[in-house]
């Protein structure tokens, strides 16, 4: 279990090691063809910032070699904003007195019709954590409802037990995203004071349960801005390294969610809550390139949390999948566009505009997950 690996590393020692890296360490890492976790520390360290242009060139070359000039298109479909957790950074938090909404079958299909008109064949299902309302039976029904319409179904919901993942995989689930939010065990409870999500160790062990369940792909990441991003991202790389060796048949992706403003208050009186992410755009570019140089196989995903300008500029640097036209509220595409969003998006361009931007850079937007389609047909 990853917990055994995790317990061998001390947060403050990891942080000190990262910030103690020198230009010599960075140059040594850049000169290698295969890089280890110590090299990754060097590449995310402040000492690597003067080498950002070289890192970008190497990252672009490595991505082209493995993925070619293609960008996978995906879209989130929010099914519910009901949640039993209190999280300091999320608009769906239990203590945020908003009207809760869970989509019915008919409403899901209305949302699906809009997504299909946009051209999507890869969907990400998102809910809050409310086991009595949007537990495994609800999720299984939703997956079975969507299966005729999408070749790839991903999910970002509460952590589940292994047998529950096995049930959903049999129903047609392909990918599960489960972000640790932060690997700082001491402060994790501060950000998650109430609800099942406050159980740090259960969440930490989720990828192990997914691996044993035989999931096709899993997504990792931290919520950038909760703690020191360099230390958190080292632990993500440590986790990825362990999972690839342990569950080698599973594919992996990394996402880079930076904290975004949310609406808090009541239905009648809401206000903005903003966060200091403690990460500049240049540092996010550094992190993307560092992950690519550390692991040429991992998929790197960029959501609409980021601005138009930033997303335009990172297409060639290592990103392999991107969302567009996203709504972060249940029913946001057509059923109830004015319902409360989980967080504010930054890039509001349509999927067609994003696809045009990708083509103008010499890349091809991919709407269908052909790998899975072929694999599924072989299993049938």
Per-residue pLDDT reduced to its tens digit, 180-229: 999 999 999 999 998 899 999 999 999 999 999 999 999 999 999 889 99
Q: Give mean pLDDT, residues 135-160.
A: 97
As a whole number, mean pLDDT of residues 40-59 equals 98
Alpha helices in the chain (DSSP H): 2-6, 11-19, 23-31, 37-44, 52-67, 105-118, 131-134, 136-146, 162-171, 185-191, 200-204, 206-213, 229-246, 281-294, 308-314, 351-360, 370-379
* Whole-Å CA distances, 231 to 30, 145, 244: 20, 40, 20
State the virtual CA torsion across 229, 230, 236, 237 in degrees, nearest 10.
Answer: 160
* Model pLDDT, residue 277: 55
Nearest to 30 by CA among 66, 56, 64, 1: 56
Q: How far apart are CA 254 and CA 178, in angstroms?
A: 10
| Residue 105 predicted with pLDDT over 70 | yes
Backbone φ/ψ region at 82: left (φ over 0), alpha (ψ -120 to 50), beta: beta
Domains of the chain: 2-379 (3.20.20.70)
What pLDDT, in 10s, does the model give residues 65-80?
Answer: 999 999 999 999 999 9
Q: Band of the pLDDT at 348, cuts 50, 70, 90?
A: confident
Token pair of 102 as six digits: 């869970």
Q: Are 300 and 319 in contact (CB under 8 A)?
A: yes
Q: How many CA atoms lie within 13 A of 19 on its CB side?
A: 10
The stretch 244-267 carries a mean pLDDT of 79
C-alpha–C-alpha distance, residues 101 and 232, integer Å = 33
Place of tokens 């349960």: 209
Contacts of 99 (CB under 8 A, 6+ apart): 267, 339, 340
Q: What is the mean pLDDT of the chain?
A: 90
Give the model confidence (pLDDT) of 259-316 as tens digits.
Answer: 755 444 444 444 444 455 578 999 999 999 999 999 999 999 998 888 899 999 999 9
The pTM for the full model equals 0.91
pLDDT for position 271:
45
* pLDDT given for residue 98 in this prediction: 74
């Amino acid at each position: 279990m990853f917990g055994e690996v995790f317990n061998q590393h001390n947060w403050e020692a990891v942080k000190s090691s990262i910030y103690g890296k020198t230009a010599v360490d960075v140059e040594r890492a850049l000169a290698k063809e295969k890089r280890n976790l110590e090299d990754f520390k060097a590449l995310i360290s402040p000492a690597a910032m003067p080498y950002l242009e070289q890192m970008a060139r190497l990252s672009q070359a490595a991505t082209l070699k493995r993925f070619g000039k293609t960008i996978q298109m995906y879209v989130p479909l929010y099914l519910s904003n009901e949640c039993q957790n209190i999280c300091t950074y999320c608009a769906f938090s239990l203590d945020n007195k908003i009207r809760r909404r869970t989509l019915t079958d008919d409403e899901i299909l209305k949302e699906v019709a809009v997504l299909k008109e946009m051209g999507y064949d890869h969907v990400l299902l998102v809910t809050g954590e409310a086991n009595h309302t949007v537990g495994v039976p609800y999720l299984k029904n939703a997956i079975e409802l969507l299966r005729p319409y999408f070749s790839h179904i991903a999910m970002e919901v509460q952590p589940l037990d292994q047998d529950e993942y096995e049930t959903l995989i049999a129903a047609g689930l392909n990918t599960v995203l489960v972000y640790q939010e932060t690997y700082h065990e001491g402060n994790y409870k501060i950000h998650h004071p109430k609800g099942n999500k406050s159980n740090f160790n259960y969440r930490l062990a989720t990828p192990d349960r997914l691996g044993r369940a035989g999931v096709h792909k899993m997504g990792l990441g931290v919520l950038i801005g909760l703690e020191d991003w360099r230390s958190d991202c080292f632990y993500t790389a440590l986790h990825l390294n362990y999972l690839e060796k342990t569950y080698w048949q599973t594919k992996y992706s990394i996402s880079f969610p930076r904290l975004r403003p949310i609406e808090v208050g009541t239905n009648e009186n809401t206000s903005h809550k903003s966060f200091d992410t403690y990460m500049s755009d240049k540092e996010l570019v550094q992190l993307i390139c560092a992950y690519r140089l550390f692991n040429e196989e991992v998929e790197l995903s960029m959501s609409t949390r980021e601005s138009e300008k930033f997303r335009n500029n990172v297409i060639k640097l290592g990103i392999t999948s991107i969302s567009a036209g996203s709504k972060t509220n249940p029913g946001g595409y057509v059923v109830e566009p004015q319902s409360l969003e989980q967080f504010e998006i930054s890039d509001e361009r349509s999927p067609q505009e994003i696809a045009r931007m990708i083509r103008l850079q010499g890349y091809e937007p991919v709407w269908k997950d052909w790998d899975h389609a072929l694999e599924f047909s072989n299993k049938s």
